[in-house]
Amino acid sequence: MVTETATFRIGGMACSFCAATIEKALKRMGGVRDVRINLSHQEAWVEYDPGEVGKEDLKGFIEGLGYVVLEGGDLYREDRLILERARKRMLVAWSIALPVLIIMSMRDLLGLPLEIPYFKEVLWGLATFVLFGLGSSILKSSLLALSKGVLNEHVLFSLGAAGAYLTGMLSYTYPVPSFFGASIFLTAFHLLSGYLSAKVRVEASESVRRLLSLQPLKARVLRDGREVMVPVEEVGKGEIVSVRPGEKIPVDGVVVEGASSVSQAIVTGESMPVDVEEGDEVVAGSLNHQGLLRIRVTRVGEETFIRRVARFVEEAREKRPRIQLLFDRVIAYYVPGVMVLSAGSLLFWLFLGEPIRAVYAALAVLIIGYPCAMGMASPLALMMGSGMGAERGILIRSGEAYEGLNRVRLIVFDKTGTLTRGEPVVTDVVAGGGIGEEDLLLYAASAERASEHPLGRAVARSAEERGIPLRDPSSFRAFSGLGVEALVEGREVLVGSKRFVEGRGVDFTPLLEEVERLEGEGKTVILACIDGRPAGLLAISDRMKEEAPSVIEGIKGMGLTPVMLTGDNKKTARAIAERVGIGEVVAEVLPQDKALWIRRLQERGEMVAMVGDGVNDAPALSQADVGIAIGAGTDIAKESAHVILLEDRLEAVLTALSLGKTTYRKIRENIFFAFIYNLLGFPIAASGMLHPLMAMGAMVASTLSIILNSFLIPRIVGRAVSSRYRRFQNNSR
């Protein structure tokens, strides 16, 4: 069987109930094989048999459910237009509902003697306008959903609002209370909740829109020997793009000509520009400050860095944590359950001969059971969390990752490139044999000048940083893994390990105490001798990140246990661990064995997060319950990491943990708020003792508590980040 897929951008989806309605209805359509709905992306992905159903049929079916299929144009602008229309309907409805609510509360709840001529008739007219005018699209959606065999929140709303409207009409001939006002208020609240849900979704997507807007719309491409301005969508891989000073880089690529200073805050979060030259990678949206750059395009379209970040942010909102999946299974029976309870309450009290109580019970159950708060509980928190993370360079790629960040108790850190900068530097220069430090560095660095070994380059770089002019050796020979031999200004220079120089008959006994001291600090010591005599030693270490001790302190303050996992020797690893404050160290582990060690920690019953640089830590990042790739930069496509930190700042780990824990806590609190009002309110509502206006008050409290609770996420995380920043600044002093 041959199937095809189609993707539809849908307007009008306010919460997860809307998404569930479309998904269930489409799955029941003949020829449809699979359906996936992305609420944040406002998309429906449909796999179908073209022999049974066509793309236009699917589009018409979705629109038949009362939603809008958006095609072409600026989709963010379309979202804004839909939001503006929802806002206008909501404001008109509430300009009517608030005065009515005040009057009804004073008269029906407080018992004040307010006699307004023809008040019922006025309410009838207003209720007709609000319900069948402003709320017509909702009623239409509920009828269409019923025709497809789907019970959703629109159906529940329609039953409640129509039931309240019907009581007003019946009150003219039967002894039942009139609830025209309840119909008005219920419609106004439904419009309000729909508007707020859409507003939060659109505002959360603004971070993605701002990110995409950083990429220029046009690029200056070299074609046939001249520069041509073309839309960036028309630039192909391998083409050469020219970027002048002051312009933004329009594509992802590699510099093939020129050198400049480039602001890459979009990638690293750092405001300071970096120098780029031939062979360096750059990404779209970066600002070219100085020189003319020629860039060979390496990624286009959806492969570009900006597009992938945007996609990650939006998809993360749809990958729900396990608590939400359990919630979804319960909610599948919720709407039918509310309808059964309402009908049962109505029939029960009618059987007992209490029609007024029967109406109170049936309406109160429908109103208090309005489920939009439940539909917003998890998506709202995920939208706020993912939007805030995107603004801070933190990509949490799934709802499961939020749950994992909340549950982890063990944080495993790679050393090189994570706790340290991954760049060896000379930390100590100890001269001997009657030679000064500068002369020692002059001869040692000149000898190492031609070396390709990282330690040799560190020695040469140290001399250059001190302004020592190096000499070109007249002869040079490297001994793999041992050291180098060179002739500098006519003098024989040896630089290398203790075994290397002692093998040449040089006695370093006078400096052994210094060697042992520096090695005890976890530093690598290389020895230098000139003309067969000891000249001194150089200690080299991977520079620790300044913020590492503060971050480890913060990890412990969160009740978590930090662990170091590294391939370095035990002495060096323990020295670094002591300096940053880590107690448990696993050293001399090959990259391919790191995942095994993570598994062993998990077998102890630990929930483990792994923090690595995403280069050779991929197996361990994948094995961990939460893999955190730090300083991933443009390499965000790492499938091994659950959390990607674009900037190479260790403090981002704390921010990610705080964001994950706060967002997941808000999801749980939202679900609690969504259920607690109903669990407490249903028995009272079914008893017929709860006035429908009071039921509406409970419904409002439930929904507003979820909205306000979700909006606290940025404030809580921001306060935690600010506190950690101040603590780091104090520790730095």
Structure tokens at 177: 């209370």
| CB neighbour list of residue 654: distance below 8 Å, 6 or more residues apart | 551, 554, 555, 558, 720, 721, 724
N residues, the chain? 733
Per residue in 369-408, pLDDT tens? 776 666 667 777 777 777 777 777 787 777 678 888 888 9
Beta bridge partners of 36: 45
Task: Report in angstroms the alpha-carbon separations of 476 from 447, 484, 486, 607, 644.
Answer: 7, 7, 4, 53, 44
**Overall pTM surpassing 0.85 (yes/no):** no
Residue 637's pLDDT is what? Answer: 42
| CB neighbour list of residue 152: distance below 8 Å, 6 or more residues apart | 17, 18, 20, 21, 142, 145, 335
What topology is assigned to 218-303 in CATH? 2.70.150
Q: Does residue 78 register a pLDDT over 70?
A: no
| Mean pLDDT rounded to a whole number for the chain | 79
Cα end-to-end distance, the chain, whole Å: 69
Q: Distance between CA atoms of 535 and 439, rounded to whole angstroms?
A: 9
Residue that has been written with the tokens 């700042």 in this structure: 649
Ranked by mean pLDDT, the top range of 7-16, 190-199, 391-400, 494-503 is 494-503
Q: Do 582 and 602 meet the contact criterion of CB atoms below 8 Å apart? A: no
Q: Do 645 and 270 meet the contact criterion of CB atoms below 8 Å apart? A: no
Looking at domain 423-544, does it have CATH number 3.40.1110.10?
A: yes
Residue 537's pLDDT is what? Answer: 92
Q: Does residue 53 register a pLDDT over 80?
A: yes
Category of 91 on φ-ψ map: left (φ > 0), alpha (ψ -120 to 50) or beta: alpha
Task: Report in angstroms the alpha-carbon separations of 458 from 450, 480, 524, 541, 573.
Answer: 12, 17, 12, 10, 20
DSSP element (H, E) containing 644: strand 643-645
Residue 191's pLDDT is what? Answer: 84
Domain 4-72, what architecture? Answer: 2-Layer Sandwich (3.30)
415 DSSP assignment: I
Q: Beta 68-70 vs 4-11: how paired, if at all?
A: antiparallel
DSSP element (H, E) containing 6: strand 4-11
Residue 209's pLDDT is what? Answer: 60
Cα 404 to its chain centre, rounded Å, is 13
**Common-topology check for domains 4-72 and 423-544:** no
Per residue in 276-310, pLDDT tens? 888 888 888 788 887 888 999 888 777 777 777 66
Q: Distance between CA atoms of 554 and 611, rounded to whole angstroms?
A: 15
Beta bridge partners of 629: 612, 644
Q: Tell me, what amino acid is at 30?
A: G
Task: Report in angstroms the alpha-carbon separations of 572 from 27, 112, 518, 542, 592.
Answer: 60, 81, 10, 10, 20
Confidence of residue 177 (pLDDT cuts 50, 70, 90): confident
Domain residue limits, the chain: 4-72, 79-209+314-381+668-716, 218-303, 423-544
Task: Report in angstroms the alpha-carbon separations of 440 from 7, 360, 452, 465, 528.
Answer: 68, 94, 20, 15, 8
Catalytic sites, residue numbers? 414
Q: How many helices (H) and strands (E) does the chain have?
A: 24, 26
Among 186-200, 220-234, 410-424, name the one with the lowest average pLDDT. Answer: 186-200
Task: Report in angstroms the alpha-carbon separations of 123 from 115, 135, 157, 168.
Answer: 14, 16, 19, 9
Structure tokens at 393: 């360079």
Residue 616's pLDDT is what? Answer: 58
Span 582-607, average pLDDT: 83
Q: Distance between CA atoms of 273 and 259, rounded to whole angstroms?
A: 13
Helix (H, G, I), strand (E, B) or coil at 564: strand
Rg of the chain taking only CA atoms, in angstroms:
34
Dump strand ranges (E) for 224-319.
Answer: 226-231, 240-243, 252-257, 260-263, 274-276, 281-282, 287-288, 293-299
Among 381, 382, 373, residue whose Cα is nearest residue 315:
382
